[in-house]
Amino acid sequence: MCEPRKGAPRMVVICGDFNAAVGTRQHAQELGIGPQGFGTRNPRGQAVLDFCATSGFSVANTYCKQRSGRKWSWRAPNGKLKREYDLCLVKSPKQVRNVHAMNGFQITSDHRMVKVILVVEKRKRQRYYRPQKQCTDWEKYRRNVEEMNVESLENMNVTGKYEKLCELLADAKQTATTKETRKTRFSSRTLDLFKTRSSLLNNQDPMSQIQLIETSKLLRITIRDDLERSKLKKYEKALANRRVNEPTTTQMMWEILKTDGTLTTNSEELCKAIKAFYEDLYSSTVKTERKSTRNSEIPPEILTSEVEYNLHRMKRRKAPGQDKISCAMLRNAEEVVIPHLKEIYNEIIQTGNLPPLLANSVTTLVFKKESVRHNRVESGV
């Protein structure tokens, strides 16, 4: 119910008789309730607020300032006890302009009608501009790597050495990367018809108007054929690369539930919740006796052949981390990079210090199939 439709946002509004009185706000950080509450809270009202806190809803009645006579929607048979039982739940209080109870309707009920004025804005659909592809000249990149100042890596600690190496590789790739020119989908015949039609638009004589009509008809046919041809080329390329069944888009998670049941969208709290989840997932519950490591042998140094072997085993399409160093950048500069990587890894083993660019990672939460929106972190990574 709360999932957005494909291509457009969705406004979710829940209205009805909840038989729940949410009352007034108990503290400023309470979720799902505004400063304009009415009456006292009952257990059903607390259950409604718990649902709002876990599902991201808000009680719109508590955000609209009204006098007490326009707040209550239910009156007891004695005529003295009045409660605000008819509520309106929305995803954002900004979606509601006003909520109040209405008089003047003679109905055989102990409830009054509640009027809700929504703010419905017709959002303009943003046009998507596909980013221009970039092409890297790897021959020029190798020359840039050979010419870079490697002597600056000497007499530096492991963190500074790794960060400087990443900076040099990124500069070498940036100078060797250019924007790829987009190939037109239209043939030369279609482009000539475009020019012919533009020249005929300024002529008002009868013969030119007839030629314009015939040229426009022919142009529509050639445009259709060119687009079909371009589409078939894309399909053939996808079949050749065996990438037909790969998903084109993935829906990411921007909000999760913490261990205390509250919903969070803060990036720092998201990282803490993900870290706590994986620490608990991979923590060992088996109690073992710790052995003394005083008489342990010094681990052997990492060899150049080991670095080279593992570098060639890396997947080519593997996404880079926070250092923005891809597998292709390392492979095309292996003669220069491998000796420095060997020194960095051996120094990490000896000192026990790990550079932050190697320790940190980029975590993207995605939904599993047939999963609801407000899942915990267990919904998939």
Give yes or no for residue 373 having a pLDDT over 50.
no
pLDDT value at position 247? 55
Q: Indicate the pairing of strand 96-102 with strand 86-90.
A: unpaired
pTM above 0.85, yes or no: no
Whether residue 376 sits in one domain with residue 254:
yes
| Of 362 and 15, more confident | 15
Decide if 236 is inside a domain: yes
Cβ atoms 355, 158 nearer than 8 A: yes
Tens digit of pLDDT for each residue in 326-358? Answer: 899 999 998 889 999 999 999 888 888 888 888
Whether residue 252 sits in one domain with residue 235:
no
Looking at 66, 88, 118, the residue that finishes a domain is 118
Tens digit of pLDDT for each residue in 55-75? Answer: 889 999 999 999 988 999 988
Whether residue 377 sits in one domain with residue 272:
yes
Give yes or no for residue 294 having a pLDDT over 90.
no
38: DSSP letter = B
Whether residue 277 sits in one domain with residue 369:
yes
Give yes or no for residue 377 having a pLDDT over 90.
no
Decide if 205 is inside a domain: yes
pLDDT value at position 155? 82
Decide if 294 is inside a domain: no
Backbone torsions φ then ψ of 263, nearest 5 degrees: -90, 135
Confidence of residue 195 (pLDDT cuts 50, 70, 90): very high
Whether residue 270 sits in one domain with residue 197:
no
252: DSSP letter = B
Whether residue 21 sits in one domain with residue 93:
yes
pLDDT value at position 245? 58
Whether residue 96 sits in one domain with residue 196:
no
Joined together, the tokens standing for residue 346 give 């051996």
Cβ atoms 330, 320 nearer than 8 A: no
Tens digit of pLDDT for each residue in 7-55? Answer: 456 788 999 999 899 999 888 888 889 999 998 899 999 999 999 988 8
Distance CA 89, CA 50 (A): 13
Residue whose entry in the numeric block shows the structure tokens 């006579």: 69
| Strand residue runs (E) in the chain | 13-17, 58-59, 74-75, 82-83, 86-90, 96-102, 113-118, 134-136, 177-179, 256-257, 263-264
Q: Which residues contact 24 (CB under 8 A, 6 or more apart)?
A: 37, 38, 39, 40, 41
Q: Which residues contact 370 (CB under 8 A, 6 or more apart)?
A: none
Sign of CA dihedral 48, 50, 51, 55: positive
Give yes or no for residue 223 having a pLDDT over 90.
yes
| Strand residue runs (E) in 275-380 | none
| Domain around 372 | 247-281+361-381
Whether residue 271 sits in one domain with residue 221:
no
Whether residue 252 sits in one domain with residue 365:
yes
CB atoms within 10 A of CB 169: 24
Give yes or no for residue 198 having a pLDDT over 80.
yes
Number of domains in the chain: 3
Mean pLDDT, range 89-110, rounded to an integer: 86
Decide if 39 is inside a domain: yes
DSSP secondary structure letters along 173-186: HHHTEEEPPPPPSS
Distance CA 317, CA 320 (A): 9
**What is the enclosing helix (H) or strand (E) of 159?**
helix 158-175
pLDDT value at position 123? 65
Confidence of residue 94 (pLDDT cuts 50, 70, 90): confident
